[in-house]
């Protein structure tokens, strides 16, 4: 431990030899004591020396189990990462493939449905045409039956038919041929008008109720139901043979054409009004 110079000066006194001439018992006064110096602080304890660090000495090698566990963790992590990446890639590829396949199937199905719709439209058009034809045939047949039923229930309808026919003829004498029952009805209700016009009434068993034929010198008017019916069908664009009544036979089993031939050969000799 070193002491400074100032401390050394205060701590020591100059030595003087004792004065032998001084009387005995006389004590030489002591030199004034120097003030006590403070004790120096204790020296710090030396720090323990640490051993030098050697990484090779302190390295703790893993055990075989730890190495195996680390391998498993690395392998598992790699597997999961690869699985996620593969799943994402596979999902994207699957979506693209599925979209393409779905689009192709949808287009094929749309084409098939379009073709089916076209065939259905054609079928419906054909059905509509067939149904329309059937409805027209049914309506015509119903009308024919209504006409015959009306004549059966209202035989006086022949009066209106005869008046309309006479208006179409030019002035002159005419021979009017009617069914015998219609002739009696006409003679009762129109006899005076027929006589005043100079016309003659003649029975014709070949005609049906409601039929009327009028012959003049320059014209012939066929006002039979068959002829009038044919005109109605022609106005509808239909053929008469297609809707001809099945029982188109004259009364008493006489064929209509044969009766007309017999009448022409007889020269028109019949009952006259």
DSSP 154-222: -TTHHHHHHHHHHHHSPSS--EEEE-HHHHHHHHHHHHHHHHHTT-EEEE-TTSPTT-EEEE-SS-EEE
Of 153, 184, 218, which marks where a domain is finished?
153
Class of residue 155 by CB neighbours under 10 A (exposed 0-12, middle 13-18, buried 19+): middle
Q: How many CB atoms lie within 10 A of CB 131?
A: 11
Range of the domain at 190: 156-265
Of 122, 153, 184, which marks where a domain is finished?
153
Both 91 and 167 in one domain: the answer is: no
pLDDT in tens, 98-146: 778 878 888 887 888 788 777 777 776 766 677 777 776 777 677 767 7
Of 109, 128, 153, which marks where a domain is finished?
153
Asked if residue 258 is part of any domain, the answer here is yes
Asked if residue 144 is part of any domain, the answer here is yes
Secondary structure letter of residue 272 according to DSSP: B
Name residues whose C-beta falls within 8 Å of residue 134's C-beta, 6 or more positions apart in sequence: none
Q: How confident is the model at residue 59 (pLDDT cuts 50, 70, 90)?
A: low
The count of structural domains within the chain is 2
Q: How confident is the model at residue 22 (pLDDT cuts 50, 70, 90)?
A: low
Phi, psi of 248 (to 5 degrees): -80, 65
CATH number for the domain spanning 250: value is: 3.30.2320
Asked if residue 244 is part of any domain, the answer here is yes
Both 171 and 250 in one domain: the answer is: yes
Both 172 and 227 in one domain: the answer is: yes
**CA nearest neighbour of 161 among 82, 72, 227:** 227
pLDDT in tens, 137-193: 777 677 767 766 777 777 888 888 888 888 877 677 888 999 999 999 999 998 888
């Amino acid at each position: 431990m070193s002491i400074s110079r100032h401390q050394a000066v205060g701590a020591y006194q100059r030595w003087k030899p004792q004065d032998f001439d001084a009387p005995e018992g006389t004590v030489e006064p002591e030199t004034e004591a120097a003030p006590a110096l403070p004790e120096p602080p204790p020296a710090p304890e030396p720090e323990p020396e640490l051993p030098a660090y050697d990484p090779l000495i302190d390295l703790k090698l893993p055990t075989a189990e730890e190495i195996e566990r680390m391998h498993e963790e690395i392998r598992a992590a790699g597997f999961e990462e690869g699985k996620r990446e593969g799943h994402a890639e596979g999902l994207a590829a699957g979506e693209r493939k599925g979209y393409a396949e779905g689009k192709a199937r949808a287009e094929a199905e749309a084409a098939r449905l379009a073709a089916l719709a076209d065939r259905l439209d054609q079928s419906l058009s054909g059905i509509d045409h067939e149904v329309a034809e059937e409805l027209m045939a049914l309506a015509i047949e119903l009308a024919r039956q209504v006409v015959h039923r009306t004549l059966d229930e209202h035989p006086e309808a022949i009066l209106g038919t005869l008046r309309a026919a006479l208006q179409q003829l030019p002035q002159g004498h005419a021979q009017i041929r009617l069914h015998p029952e219609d002739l009696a009805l006409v003679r009762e209700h129109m006899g005076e008008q027929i006589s005043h016009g100079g016309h003659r009434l003649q029975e014709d068993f070949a005609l049906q109720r409601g039929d009327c034929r009028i012959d003049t010198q320059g014209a012939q008017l066929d006002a039979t139901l068959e002829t009038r019916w044919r005109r109605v069908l022609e106005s509808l664009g239909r053929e008469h043979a297609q809707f001809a009544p099945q029982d188109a036979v004259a009364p008493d089993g006489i064929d209509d054409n044969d009766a007309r031939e017999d009448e022409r050969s007889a020269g028109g000799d019949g009952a006259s009004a």
